[in-house]
Amino acid sequence: MSDYIMELRKIVGHRLLLSPGVSVIVEDAKGRALLEKRHDNGCWGYAGGAVEPDEVVEDAARRELLEETGIVAGKLDFFGIYSGPESHFYYPNGDEVSYVEIVYTCRDWSGSLCPQPGEVDELRWFAPDELPENISPSIRRGLLDWAEKKRAQGG
């Protein structure tokens, strides 16, 4: 959790925060998505997190991807913006957040997979037709949209 969010939480406690978020769906040469098993809820999702004050959104995407997976992003392609009831999330500690999430895809990357200790339990590649059942609720719609787009492209 960022210092900024921790300071806000001292003031508002577990109450709802509206937060800009950014995520990256990394694809390999086989068209599979890199997903991470979250430590806090045991669900699968793509790398992402909160945008820091004054941080450029693309820089936040690259930072979150590197922190959570060990992957260095090259070119990022805009995928979509997600908000609304599906982006409303309660963390296991009771913190409530409503994300406005900017999602990118990345096919140009380097590095070795290295899950972030304490946040990511496992990293694994998934084909569009083989996504896990327990997808983190706040990113379900984005991941399913990605899978549908890949199927429509024949990949």
The pLDDT of residue 145 is above 90: yes
What is the share, in percent, of the chain residues with pLDDT greater than 90?
A: 88
- Can you give the pLDDT at residue 45? 96
Give the Cα separation of 71 and 24 in Å (integer): 11
- Going by pLDDT thresholds of 50, 70 and 90, the confidence category of residue 155 is low
Domains and CATH numbers, the chain: 14-152 (3.90.79.10)
pTM over the 0.85 mark: yes
- Can you give the pLDDT at residue 114? 96
CB distance 47 to 65 below 8 Å: yes
Question: Which residues lie closer than 8 Å to 115 by C-beta, 6 or more apart?
Answer: 36, 68, 69, 70, 121, 122, 123
